[in-house]
Chain A
């Protein structure tokens, strides 16, 4: 996790910062329901691309920051991020080989897991219930991945992040 100029690690950090800003943008209510999990999918990209640099420690800290930003109970997003990152790390080799739509499907499943964990742990003792709408960011994130993957790969190559 040591940031060295030669590896250009500031690039992923900037993309993650942008992801944080996107996730905090004020939105119309119906857009909010389907708003993709920007931080999670950007981070998954960097885990797949550079698994020796981005691991569970990063996932935990990013999740914690997300909790603070969204006012969730501390640790909810941290747990979800750690679990999802663990899965991503187990299969990053396979993911790299997959075709775009196969990757998108895996992202869909990973984001769905993330949504389930954060929804269950956040919802303890609350009387909010809106069916399965909380899963909507999962398909949206999957579709977004097709585009995001190309963009982030371009960024990684342009800046020679290693």
Chain B
């Protein structure tokens, strides 16, 4: 076989070797990828593009959630009558308790409004709440994110705080038409302004990338903080509404020679368990959303 013949056959049979197009393509796709990464880090507009592109993977997210959903569905239908009655009773009792608190709260709210009037404060207490359901958690262990079934079509927006029944869970970092991505407070990139409920001491709680811990890094060694203190959102930073429970202090370490105490806290929200979430919308939040910065 001639050498030229061999090359010619390769060119015909194997388009891979046609004019070194693999190397060219490799360079082109590599450069596109790198410029995409740079653009994603640099420009906020990418959020919107990503929102629309995310529609392409929404079916996959739904499909993955099907077993869990059908299990819940079956479970609800197969529960024994007695269990349902017992659960019903328990829920009634809880409702009663909650109603009592609401009555008290109504009186307190009115009182609070009056006091605010006296102070000429313009701050409003009304918050709009959307109930949302978790449809997926991120499979990447480096980031703590979950996916919920509300997108910008149903009023979710980037920066919106997300709570569960027991505390602050995180905030929305990107939205598409029907789903949103929530960054949890324990993500290594997340920080939330908090204050100690007991004495109003302000600090910032940083995520560590572990579901059980938040860390306060900027409290001086002499700061008045104890194990068991409840940390609530302070409302500073205008992202999270004021006064929702965030975490409970579980460890305060003083060490001689260090300027700052090491404080660890455990999130009160059930970050790896809750399935029903609340999206909160405050008037300040709406302003932030309409300004469009994140």
Contact = CB atoms under 8 A, between A and B. Distances in A.
Interface of B is mostly: helix
Contacts of A68: 50, 53-54, 56-57
B120 to A, nearest CB: 42
A78 B209 CA distance: 25
A21 B60 contact: yes
A71 to B, nearest CB: 5
A51 B16 contact: yes
A25 interface: yes
Contact of B140 (A17, A55, A72, A74): A72
B4 interface: no
Interface residues of B, number: 45
Interface stretch (A28-36, A99-107, A145-153): A28-36
Contacts of A90: 22
Interface in B172-189: 173-174, 181, 188-189
Interface string A118-150: 010111111110100010000000000000000
Interface string B15-57: 1100000100110011011111101110000100110011011
A33 B141 CA distance: 6
Given A21-B63, A56-B29, A26 B189 contact: no
A90 B173 CA distance: 39
Interface string B108-148: 00000000000000000000000000001111111101000
Interface stretch (A6-14, A79-87, A154-162): A79-87
Is the interface on chain A under 10, 10 to 19, 20 to 34, or 35 or more residues? Answer: 35 or more
Contacts of B152: none
Contact of B37 (A33, A55, A76): A76
B184 to A, nearest CB: 12
Given A24-B64, A32-B139, A130-B209, A65 B56 contact: yes
Nearest to B209: A128
A60 interface: yes
B82 interface: no
A74 B46 contact: yes
Given A68-B54, A78-B36, 20 more contacts: A20-B57, A21-B60, A24-B61, A24-B136, A29-B211, A57-B25, A60-B29, A65-B56, A68-B50, A71-B138, A73-B37, A73-B40, A74-B37, A74-B49, A75-B33, A75-B39, A79-B34, A89-B22, A124-B41, A130-B209
Interface of A: 17, 20-21, 23-27, 29, 32-33, 35, 51-52, 55-57, 59-60, 63-65, 68-76, 78-79, 82-83, 86, 89-90, 119, 121-128, 130, 134
